[in-house]
Amino acid sequence: MEKIKLSAWPYEVSYIENPTQDELRLLTLKHTPAVIKTKQGSLVKVSRNKNRVAKYTYVIGNKEDASKRSMQLIDPSIAKDLIKRQAAYIQHKGELIAIDGYLGIGKRAVGVQWLYTLEGANIAGMQQTLSFPREQVEGGKIHAPFQPTLRVIYTPDFSVDEMPGRQAVLVDLENWTTYIMGPDYFGESKKGALRMLNEWVYQKGGMVLHAGAKAVHFGDTKITMTIMGESGTGKTTTTFSKQGEVTQPIQDDMVCIWPEGEMSITENGCFAKTEGLTAQSEPVIYESSLDSRAWLENIYVDRNTGEVDFLKGKMSPEEVESYRNEFVLTGSKAENLDRYISGNVRFEEVVEVNGVPKEGWDFTTWTQNGRSIVPMSAIRNAPDLRNIPSVKSMGILNRDEGKDAATPILVRFSSPEQASGYFMLGETSKTSAAGKERGKMRSPFTQPFFPGSHPLQAKRFRELASTMKDVTLWMMNTGCVGGDGEDVKKGKALKVKILHSSSILEALVTGQLRWKRDPDFGYEIVDPEAKENLKLLEKVPAELLEPKRFYQKTGRLEEYFNWVTQMKKERREYLNKYQVDPSIVKATCGE
């Protein structure tokens, strides 16, 4: 494992070195604000930040570096001053928690040191859960001092008043260090290291994918499947759904791809979104999220019983009163809280018809971005991460929704160039948890964490895919055909159900599908007329396999052809905006 020499200890303070999980829970209860204990004994942190602050994240660099970066830059002199002030804050605090571990295991593992002021003890506990310990990676008893390749320094309660949002995440790619100032959300710690890993792996000839991965066993064959997808597309659900005789989840967020289809992993557990989680919908995640070893974030807990509620929405005045202290600590106005608790303001007066709270009244509806952080040891049927089958299947999820939703449930790409183009598009429909944003969105490789210029991703993936002679490259629609959820209720659209997607993926990995070329886009779709697909058609409607049939059946064929024209135009413009190689654009959008 290649290492660079970061200084052993960057500050002259006391260090709590690699405390146990039990010790981290005690530190959390003592030092971390807004923490609640569940019936199972796990801890829930109610955070100020409900998601990552991408708009407050900066790569340190001069203006002339802009063309090399996909992220906004911050002038080195400004960054230097902020880092100096963070150091003074740390010196004043006098103590840091140090977590030494690895992203990944085996020859590709990358050492990381995470440092936290004590108010971030819960984040330290979560991060230790996901990282691989030195003993597991290095082998045997550890005597030598740790030499990390990457470092993350996290001070949740250090605010930078002159910066937007009074927060800043500074990424120093020259010195492989990320400084996090102000946020109190675990995702910043996790992505702080993974963002730098993106750059590190690219420099070594590989590529990090924002993707889950699972091992699928059928007969004597074992393969690994990777699944890319933006948040909300069903990446975690698909990763944990069953195909073949045995399915084992490997990773739920990021994997590294190398020539010849070699894959290396990043994390020793799972960071799962829990909104709407039930034992029926996602049994593995549900079960592991209730494990006492899990760490939880922004999940509702009944203050009287300690029971976790993954379905919580509307908050009654009594429930808000029970959380008053946590809401004040995380930024809610005491005046608004007390007006709601007393009944002077009713729910209907401060929440819009679509269920979105008005400004200042977010506490009336429990956040839908609850998360659980669970170790791989708590996940039922987890595989041996030291012995992963080779990658034979790589896909991307597109949750297509709306009047122009016409993406087939499954397509197979006909060339590395075509796959590279669609992966570069990272296309899906966005509907925020609160319903505030809707419409088509595109994100290169669903990857907002790649700090280099985005065209490099398309170039590198095509290079890697050309070495993967026996790897199937595909895209799956996890949304709808012909409309959205409301249209489905009215019988005017079709919904892709978990049964549909799981059934078609099983047929894909076991080689049971007969394909045909789609005349409009040039990729392959599952042929509804082929006798080899008759068994699949018992579970998956033909209109999902070939959406043109649905539009024709409902007298909306003109809408379909308009969609084809519009998609080709938008996709070509998007890829050209990033100066993607013309051969990739042609393979994706035609002439």
Taking Cα atoms as reference points, which of 46, 510, 496, 26 lies closest to residue 247?
A: 510
Cα separation, 311 vs 274, whole angstroms: 9
Contact between residue 494 and residue 556 where contact means Cβ atoms under 8 Å apart: no
Q: So what CATH class is 208-268+385-589?
A: alpha beta
Give bridge partners of residue 125 from the DSSP assignment: none
For CATH 3.40.449.10, list the domain ranges present in the chain: 14-204
How much is the pLDDT for 71?
93
Question: What pLDDT score does 244 carry?
Answer: 75
Cα separation, 418 vs 307, in Å, equals 48
Give the position of tokens 């303001």.
345
Do the beta carbons of residue 381 and residue 248 sit within 8 Å?
yes
Nearest-angstrom CA–CA distance, 167 and 104: 29
Residues 6+ apart with CB under 8 A from 196: 150, 171, 173, 176, 178, 451
pLDDT score at 282 = 87
Q: Concatenate the DSSP letters of all residues of 511-538 into one string.
A: T---EEE-TTTSSEEE-TT-GGGHHHHT
Measuring CA to CA, how many Å separate 33 from each of 182, 199, 374, 452? 14, 34, 21, 36
Residues of the chain with CATH 3.90.228.20: 208-268+385-589
CATH of 14-204, one of 3.40.50.300, 3.40.50.1010, 3.40.449.10, 3.40.710.10: 3.40.449.10
> Which parts of 37-144 fold into alpha helices (H)?
76-93, 121-130, 134-138
Residue among 439, 382, 440, 407 nearest 525 (CA): 407
Cβ–Cβ under 8 Å, residues 121 and 27 = yes
The gap from C-alpha 68 to its chain's centroid, in whole angstroms, comes to 24
What is the per-residue pLDDT for 6?
Answer: 63
Over the chain (591 residues), the average pLDDT of each successive run of 10 is 58 96 98 97 96 94 92 97 98 97 96 98 98 92 89 97 96 97 97 97 97 90 92 84 83 94 95 92 92 97 97 97 97 97 97 91 95 93 86 95 94 96 92 50 92 95 93 96 94 94 92 95 97 96 98 96 96 96 94 70
What does the pLDDT read at residue 381?
82
